[in-house]
Each structure stands twice: as structure tokens, then as C-alpha cells.
Amino acid sequence: MILKIKQKIFSIIYPIIDKFSFKENNSLRSFITYQTNGNILEIGAGAGANYNYYKNYNNLILVDNNIDLLKQNKIDKQCLLILANSEYLPFKKSEFDSIVTSLVLCSVNDVKKTLSEIDRVLKPTGIYFFWEHTVIKNNFIYVIKKLFIFIWKFFTGNCNYNIDNLYHIHKIKWGKLEIHNKHSKFVKFFGMYYIYGKINKNNY
Ligand SMILES: C[S@@+](CC[C@H](N)C(=O)[O-])C[C@H]1O[C@@H](n2cnc3c(N)ncnc32)[C@H](O)[C@@H]1O
């Protein structure tokens, strides 16, 4: 029940935040999508902020565990929306050429399980594209943020702003990692910065 309420609130708040940050996020959304092709899976697609960036695909599947956000998608026939949890993806092994997540790992309950599911459903020749935020290592800011984390999580769809996604991404051993940083004033205010890049399974 509480989860449903939190998801409903987030489905109202997030599209507003996304609109507000459209300009700043445009290049990052382009980066994580411009090389995708074939069978594409986006996990935690929400209301479809990346949807218009996909140009080259056979099948595009958008997965999210928030029905209120999924319902806001405006899609065409070649795209499928699926209500599912990233920790138990309803797909067979090696189904996808490209997998995308943007600002999702901070909200899932089990990052390790989500990343192992990505590995499972990604083809041996596939690429995982990510854009996530990670914590700025500063003990003072970390502790202050810890005090407010329950309020923050309540309104932001369970987002953990203290998550060390740099650590999680570097722990992946099933592909070759390319990673970049982006510091933005808005996310820096909350003690975070962006990391984005790709993990290429091919020839690994
Ligand atoms: C901050 S929003 C990002 C939405 C979109 N990817 C974007 O770039 O704007 C995080 C999204 O991840 C989804 N999400 C969180 N945990 C999830 C899970 N375990 N399985 C599937 N989706 C999840 C949320 O419902 C939400 O749509």
C-alpha cells in the first residue's frame, strides 16, 4: 500500500523534474541511445524520457515497475511496454543486443541482482548503456544526507542519493567498461555526480 502511494506520488513529480532538466540531460540521453540497435531493452524507462532518442531497432521493450509511469508512455506499434521488476526480468537468456538504464540503479532494491539480470538477458555480443548518479565522497555531506534519506526516498521513488554506483559499475566483470563523469550544479547540490558509459560484452 505504502509502495503504491510512493509510486503514485513519484509518477506525478518525476515528469515535472524531467521537463525541468530536459536541456541538461539531452546529451546524456543521446549518448546512451545513439549506438543502440537490434533488440533493445530499456529497464526503468518510466514515462519514456528516452523513447524518442531510439532510431535504429527491430524491437524496443520498455520495462518499469511503476504502472502509473508506464501508462504515461506514448508509443507506436514497434514498442512494447512491460510492467516488471528489474530483479526478475521476464525474458529468456541472451535476448537483447542493447540494454539501457538511466537513473535507475539508485532506486532498485538489489543492484547486484539487477546487474546480473542484465548480464543474463544481454547477448554475448551485446552492449549495456548506462547513465546513473553516484555519491560524492564527503563524509560530512553523507551524514547530513543520511538524516533526510527517508523523506527524500518517499518523494523520489525510493532513490538512494548516497548510492556508490561507481563501485557497482566497476564490480561488473562480464564486459569491457567505458566510463565518463559529468558534474552538474543541480545534482552536486545533493552530493552526487553523474557517471555514464557502456559495458561491451563483445570479445570480452
Ligand atoms: C528516476 S526514474 C528514471 C526514469 C527514466 N529512466 C529517465 O531516464 O528519466 C527511475 C525509474 O526506475 C523505475 N524503477 C525503480 N526500481 C525499479 C525496478 N526494481 N524495476 C523496474 N523499474 C524500476 C522507476 O519506476 C522509475 O521509472
- 86 and 108 in contact (C-beta within 8 Å)? yes
Domains for the chain: give ranges and CATH numbers: 2-200 (3.40.50.150)
- Substitution candidate for ligand 1 out of 24, 83, 107, 110 with most atoms within 8 A of CB: 107
Each residue of 8-26: b (16+ CB within 10 Å) or e? eebbeebbeeeeeeeeebe
- List the chain pLDDT tens, one digit each, 204 residues: 888 898 999 999 999 989 988 889 999 999 999 999 999 999 999 999 999 999 989 999 999 999 999 999 999 878 999 999 999 999 999 999 999 999 999 999 999 999 999 999 999 999 999 999 999 988 888 888 888 898 999 999 999 999 999 999 999 999 999 999 999 888 888 899 999 999 999 867
- 71 and 52 in contact (C-beta within 8 Å)? no
- Substitution candidate for ligand 1 out of 4, 52, 104, 187 with most atoms within 8 A of CB: 104
Predicted TM-score (pTM) of this structure? 0.95
- 75 and 56 in contact (C-beta within 8 Å)? no
- Is the shortest distance between the CB of 49 and ligand 1 below 6 Å? yes
